[in-house]
Structures are given as C-alpha cells and as structure tokens.
Structure 1
Amino acid sequence: MSFKIAIIGAGSVGFTKKLFTDILCVPEFKDIEFALTDVSEHNLAMIKAILDRIVEANKLPTKVTATTNRREALEGARYIISCVRVGGLEAYADDIRIPLKYGIDQCVGDTICAGGILYGQRNIPVILDFCKDIREVAATGAKFLNYANPMAMNTWAAIEYGKVDTVGLCHGVQHGAEQIAQVLGAKSPKELDYVCSGINHQTWFIELRLNGRPIGKDELISAFEAHPVYSKQEKLRIDVLKRFGVYSTESNGHLSEYLPWYRKRPDEIARWIDMSDWIHGETGGYLRYSTETRNWFETEYPQFLEAASKPIDLAKRSNEHASHILEALETNRVYRGHFNVKNNGVITNLPQDAIIESPGFVDRFGINMAAGITLPEACAATCMASINVQRMSVHAAIAGDIDLLKLAVLHDPLVGAVSTPEEVWQMVDEMVVAQAQWLPQYAHAVPAAKERLSKSKVKTREWAGAARRSVRSIEELRAEKAALKQAG
C-alpha cells in the first residue's frame, strides 16, 4: 500500500513518534509517506531526525518529509492527524493563571472550565483553516483524525463548520478500562468486556463483564477501595462511582474540574485529590508536567535520538486509536474502539448535535457506531451541562461573539460554582486581552474589553491555587529519575 499521512502539530515530538511507530507496526504500511508540518522549524527538525533514524534503523522504504507550509504537507494526503496546541505553553499558562485570580482552581483546563473554553477559542479558527486546506488540496474523501483538545469543541467545529469527514480520538477509555481490569484481578485487560459511552472526558462504563461475568456497582466499589494505590489516588472518582453507580473514564484531577462539587472550596480540594502525581488533581498539574517534559526533551534530545536507532517492537504498539483505525480502513481487519462523532441518535438521551464518545467498529466501509445506547440519568445530566457549554463556546468562536463567550463561561459547572457573573465578565475580558494574538475573531472586541478592565472595580487576588507545585529543574528531574531507577 502507498498513501500519504499528514501530521499537523508534528512538533509534539513524543506523541508524533508514538503515532509513527504504531502505524509502522502494520506490515502493509511500510511504503507510505508521512508529511510532518508545524509552525516551529526547530521542533520539526528534531522530530524529522528522530523519524529518519527509525526508518534507517528498521531498513524501511517509508518516506518522511517536513515543512512549515501546511498546504504542501496536506496536498494529496488520505489521512490528516492533528495534535496542535494553539498558543503553546505561553497561552496555556494564562488559561491557568488568570482564572486563579477569580478563585477557579483547575488541574488541567483543556476541555471545559475557563481554560478549556479559551483554548477552544484559540483552536477553532485554526481547525477551520485546516479543514479549508483539506477540502482544497487533500485527497478526495480524506479523513481528519483530531487528537487535539478541547476534543468535543474542535471536532464539533470541524464537522459542523469545516465540512470535513472528522473523528475525534482520545485514550481515556482505554486507560479507565485498564484500571478496572487491574482492580478486579484480571491477568490481562483483554479479559474485560465493557460498554463505555458519554462525551469526551465524561464517558461512563455502563456495562462491565469480566470473562463473561457481569460486574455490579458494589463489587467494583469494593475492588477500588481495597486497591492499595487507586484507593488513595482516585478518591473523587470512587465517590462519583458510589453516587452515580458507574465509573468515569477520566482521571481524578480531570473529573474534578468538570463537576461543580469538589473544587469550589479551597479548603475542601485537598480532601479529594492526591499529590503523588499531577494527574490526580494538582493545581495546574498538566501545565507543570508539560513544561518539565518540554525542558527535559530539549536538554536530553541526544538520548531520544539514540533511542530511535532501536528496532520497532511490534509488541509495544500502543492502544492509541489512530493506527488501528487506519489498519481497519485499509485492510478490512475489523477494529472496535471508542470514537468522538456527532451523536445523530447513537446515545438516545443526549442531543443530536452533540459530539459524543461511544463504541464503534471500523472496517473498509468506515466507522460504524453502535446505536441506541441510553445513559443513566445522572450521567446524562452531567454530560448535558458540558454539552451546553461546548455548544455556546463553538458558536462564540465561530462568530467572535464575546457576549456569548461570557455566557458559555458563566454556565460552566465549576466556574458557576465559584464565581459571580461580574467576576466572569471581567475574567473573560482579561483572558481575551491577554490572548489577543491568538484570537483574531475577537480583535474587534479587544479595545472595549481593555476599556472595561481599566474601569473595573471587581476585586481579584494573586493566588497560586490550593495545591500548586513549582516546575522542577533539569537537575531535580535527573535526581528523581535516578532514585526511581535505583529503587526499581
């Protein structure tokens, strides 16, 4: 087989390498072309050198090109994969910093909440530019695989306004299933069969079977509470499990910021999170982790390049969906996964226009969703709160409507639990002004926002959050890795 895959945002070096090696684990794909594109020439040069080293070490005929000219990369591509973060860590830092001034403590801030909504405002105009290029220069019928957050908003915009065949991909379901299999004592995650459905980052394991035996709520609660690690790291998820009756896919820290109950009082946050790793609820945890990862990669790049000289290990193919979808579409080997698509009746008690994440099967005819799923009422209600925010956020981003943007932020569950309308209005003005360079659709609104800020009497505070940690230096990271290696 010979076809072209374009990766937009290929400067996300670690993730691009994973996608690349996963795809080359499919024997039929050795002759394909990867076209890498990014706004950073520096990152492009690094990832191309790594991928060239992999191709050379494995004696493959695979072609790798790299360019900052996106249309050139997309020309003739059959598949386009996006893993972009518009504004990079600079804009992301404001997604965390500014809401903290108004008492909004986020762990990640990339899906909804104040940070995720502004992230969507930055990404959506760029996503639509991608879609325009795909329609104009990519192969006829090209498929757009979106990995970028905010997943639902980006996918919604690409389908509804970009008019491109799009699927959103995430790994939260796989990770949640691995946890459940582990606490139930399974020898392999493959022993667990499940139906998991909802919206991205709020997906629910509504049916579980271990080796064919149904697993009920009480057994699952007991298994998690007895686990020596997860009982401490996933306190909030376990509490939601007890109350809702089903387990959520999303991590303790992520889930905490989609709900209005666990992060609204600073003195309560410590009760529900765990500081053993950022993902369990640390304030701005993913920002710290991403910053440390970038710094580490820049410093230790020669080691990453050397590691690329090793043969591809087929046994280490990851459970990221992309390679498995491409394999199914191209070879007709059927793949079952969980995909972000427009609802259109797949989940009976969520809106038709919503982007849902639910089970589907892929073969040469495309992605075929399992329809007729009904969520438990509490799960549907929680998803609905986020869907309403997502819909308003997408419409605001398309129209450049700052008033609708403020209403979207106001209706966010955690923001609404913490902030007053006056605080929300000022916070959005402040975020739009701070991020103006990445928000071209709001250029007309920035002068008035600046004027309002100059006259505002809404009080703010400089607050690091309830559970903030400083970015560690390279020396600290080296010492920690050495200690872990010695202990292990």
Structure 2
Amino acid sequence: MLKIAMIGAGSIGFTRRLVMDILAVPEFQNAQFRFMDIHEENLEMAANLCRAMIEKNGLPATVSAALDQREAIAGADYVFCTARVGGLEAFAHDIEIPLKYGVDQCVGDTLGPGGVFFALRTIPVLLDIARDMRELAPGALLLNYSNPMAMNMWALRRAGGVRAVGLCHGVQHSHALIAQALGLPKEEVDYTAAGINHQTWFVQVSHRGRSLLKDILPAMEKNPDIAEKEPCRIDVLRRFGYFSTESNGHLSEYLPWYRKRGKEETAKWIYDKVWIGGETGGYLNHCLSSRDEYRDNYPKWLNGELEFIKLGERSEEHGSYILEALETGRVYRGHFNIGNRGLITNLPDGCTIEIPCYVDRNGIQPTFTGRLPLACAATCCASVSVQEMAVEAALTGDRELVKQAVLHDPLTAAVCTTDEVWRMCDEMFDALAPWLPQFNGAGRTWADIPLPDDGRLRRAQLAGE
C-alpha cells in the first residue's frame, strides 16, 4: 500500500490527473493519498472530487486532506510537489512590474525577472518540504512539478538532502508535434532530447533507423497550422538546426531576439489566438480568466453532470510511470530534470539538465549525452548563468546577486539598462516581500545547513540525482 503525499494539492486539475494516472496501475489501486494545501477551499474540492472518482470506480484507495504539511508527509513513500508559491497575487507582480520596464514576458515562470523571483519564493518552500521529509519520510522520493524547474531542482540538490527528480511534459508534447509535422504515428518516431528544462533540444529524431532531423523544418514550414502557431520555434529551428521543447510563447521569452522593439516587431513571432502562442502576460491572463472555472464546475463533477476522468485513461505525465517502474520493475524511459555530472559535457557540472533516464527497481538511471550542438549549448549556458546566481541568492539572501542574475537574463539584457534593472528589482522586492523571508529578515537561509551523509544519499548522488 503506497503512501503518497501531494503538496499543493489545491491545483485541482493537475491533482485529479495525477491521482487517476497512479490509480491506472493495478498494483496502486489501494494507495493512500495525503493531500495538503494552504488554500482550504481548493484542498476540499480536490479531495472530494478524487474521493468521488475513487468511489465511482469501486477502488479501495483513500484520500485524506490536511492543512499541515508534516501530517501529509509523515511516513510517505513518495511526495509530489505542485505548489505555486504566492498564487496569482505574486504572479501578477512577476509580469506587471517587468513590463513597466519593457520586459515583455508571456509566462514568466522559468527565466526572466518573473522566473528569478518565482524561484526566490519557491525555493524556501521546497527546502521546508525537504526538511520535513528528512525527519518524517527519510526514504521517500520527491517528485517536483513546480517551476522554475531548473532552479528549484538545483537548490534541492544544494540544500535539500533528499532524493528528488524534476518532471515536465514539454518533451512529450514536442515529440507529438514533430510526429504530426512528419505525418508519422508518434510511437514510430524515436528521439533523444537534451538540454535544460524548457530549452531541451531534439538532437536525434529517427524513423525505423533513418534520421529525420533535416526533415523537420520543411515539414513544419509546409504545415499551415504549425507554421502559423509556431513562428518563433520554427525560426530557432531554421537558425540552429534543432527543434526546442516548450511552446512558442515560452521559447520566445528565453531569448534576446524576439520580444523587443515594440509590438510590431514582437507580433511577427507570436500567435495571438491562444495565450501559449506568446501574448503578453498570456498565462497570467489565462489563469485570471479561468480561476472561477473549477468552482463553477465542482458541483457538476460531483453530481455526474460533467464526466470524470475515466479510469485507465492515463496521461503522458511522468509521475505514475516512475512510481510503476520503481515499484514493479517495469522499465520506463523518460526525460527528467537531474543534476549534470558530466552527462552533457559542454554544460556546467552541477546545473540542472533534462535528459533521457531509465527507471526500474534499481532506481532512476540517467544516460550519457555528450556534447550539445554549439548553438544549443550557448543558449543553455546563458540561462544556466542566470539560474546559478538566482539559486545562490535564494540560499543566501543576497539582494545584489539577484539583481546581477536579472541583469544577465537574455531578454532583460536586450531591453534594459543597468539602472533600470536595479530599479525593477527593488520594486519587485518591495511588492513580493511577504513571500521572500530570506531577504527581509523574517526567516533563515539554507546555505550552511549540514546535510545527511549516509550511504543512501551518496548512492543517489552517484546515480545522477
């Protein structure tokens, strides 16, 4: 009987999806789920909806809900984190303050001023989860879905002292898009992707042993739907020769070339009919416009007016497959976020990379990738420098280092002067102070916390995580 803690379980859609994915595994249908969130209403809705789905399918699984994190984690085998620290209030500051200085972000959760300040407030929460795991569930694996993925995972390796892996669905979704462009069944398109989260590059794509790398660009250019929706991604593919994961809007905000010189220039590189195409503040606008959707649909899901997720309709999210492989030995291959220890040779050791890994009863085993193509590596390295400074600042409470991190962000550097970066960061520090205890004297820092040096942790480090 697995004991699974879900921190940030008030993320109603994602929580329901993960629960039903896990329950699709026959061996896990008696699992104990412990939900935790600081938002009591969302927590109650998520718990009741999952209980209803379990009851409808006649399963012995159970769901308990708590506002206390330690209660949820105690004795857990696995801990999922899907928390968004600061909610929409903090998210609005991430987008709106930089926009005043010309930094136009679509999502703002991975890099840029928004991504850096998102990391500064998320890392303390993740380290508190790790602290509770060390004390109450020392053998558990932390599966993190919270962004900014690369910075969060880097901080967990530095100061968490627990086994952890970072999970994202960008590779799977991009694989599907490539297969669609090539006109091939997805299951017949073999691939290897490598890089950093949200900037992972398809360095190998083949069909029945024949390389298709050179076929991707003409296929996407000839597909009118893809060509219209992915102008930035296709332009990067045209210049670099390799396709990058994540959406058009995401990719456009990690680079210095697309979101500048006014709306006319930016408009060439975005698809404005969906938020993820690159519109300014696209994800924030989407969240604000749909925040009441779950509350409105909640009674309809409970009374059966709207259909539940069907048992066995398993998504491509990695989480359930990792649990299945670790517990049953059924091998799973996926692209995960782990620490670089010579696995990508032209990215810095210690940074967070996204590469293929295999999972079975022996654990999570990363694969050696070697060198990235030079242009891909250069783009990743620019982001890694920002990530490293932001992680160090989050752990030490160093305000100047935060500003230096934002100063070196590619998009910010393309539009801001040094004085503007300093003023922008000061304004963000003021607005986001309630969620930044390590910078305002209300909390501790984690740079010098002694970590356990037992054999389990050492083996985990040697295995790449």
Shorter-chain TM-score above 0.5:
yes
Structure 1 stretches of at least 4 aligned residues deviating more than 6 Å after TM superposition: none
2-structure distance, mates of 1:383, 1:344:
16
Q: Is contact 2:301-2:307 (8 Å) kept?
A: no
**Structure 1 residue 315: deviation in Å?**
4.9
**Structure 1 residue 311: deviation in Å?**
7.3
- Paired residue for 1:239? 235
Q: Is contact 2:180-2:186 (8 Å) kept?
A: yes
Give the residue type in structure 2 aligned to 1:435.
L
CA 293–309 in structure 1, closer or farther in 2 if over 3 Å, else same = closer
Question: Is 1:5 aligned with 2:1?
Answer: no
Unaligned runs of 5+ in 1: 446-488
Partner SS state of residue 65, structure 1: strand
Q: Is contact 2:116-2:406 (8 Å) kept?
A: yes
Q: Is contact 2:300-2:306 (8 Å) kept?
A: no
Q: Is contact 1:81-1:144 (8 Å) kept?
A: yes
Q: Is contact 2:355-2:369 (8 Å) kept?
A: no
**Structure 1 residue 309: deviation in Å?**
8.6
2-structure distance, mates of 1:296, 1:232:
29
Give the residue type in structure 2 aligned to 1:152.
A
Unaligned runs of 5+ in 2: 443-465
**Structure 1 residue 189: deviation in Å?**
1.0
1-structure distance, mates of 2:304, 2:409:
43
Question: Is 1:270 aligned with 2:260?
Answer: no
Q: Percent identity?
A: 55
Task: Map Cα deviations across residues 445-479 of structure 1 (whole Å, 9 max, x no partner).
Answer: 9xxxxxxxxxxxxxxxxxxxxxxxxxxxxxxxxxx
- Paired residue for 1:407? 404
Matches for 1:35-434 after TM superposition, within 5 Å: 35-138=34-137, 140-186=138-184, 188-217=185-214, 219-266=215-262, 267-307=264-304, 313-434=310-431
1-structure distance, mates of 2:145, 2:364:
16
Q: Is contact 2:106-2:250 (8 Å) kept?
A: yes
**Structure 1 residue 52: deviation in Å?**
0.7
Partner SS state of residue 224, structure 2: coil
1-structure distance, mates of 2:139, 2:227:
47
Q: Is contact 1:25-1:312 (8 Å) kept?
A: no
Partner SS state of residue 325, structure 2: helix
CA 172–317 in structure 1, closer or farther in 2 if over 3 Å, else same = same
Worse-matched range after superposition: 372-381 or 247-256: 372-381
Task: Map Cα deviations across residues 87-132 of structure 1 (whole Å, 9 max, x no partner).
Answer: 0000000100000110000000000101010000110111111110
Give the residue type in structure 1 aligned to 2:424.
M
Partner SS state of residue 11, structure 1: coil
Q: Is contact 2:17-2:309 (8 Å) kept?
A: no
CA 58–314 in structure 1, closer or farther in 2 if over 3 Å, else same = closer
Q: Is contact 2:324-2:330 (8 Å) kept?
A: yes
CA 18–307 in structure 1, closer or farther in 2 if over 3 Å, else same = farther
1-structure distance, mates of 2:300, 2:168:
28
Worse-matched range after superposition: 38-47 or 296-305: 296-305
**Structure 1 residue 316: deviation in Å?**
2.0
2-structure distance, mates of 1:18, 1:190:
22
1-structure distance, mates of 2:24, 2:304:
17
Q: Is contact 2:36-2:72 (8 Å) kept?
A: yes
**Structure 1 residue 250: deviation in Å?**
1.5
TM-score (norm 2): 0.93
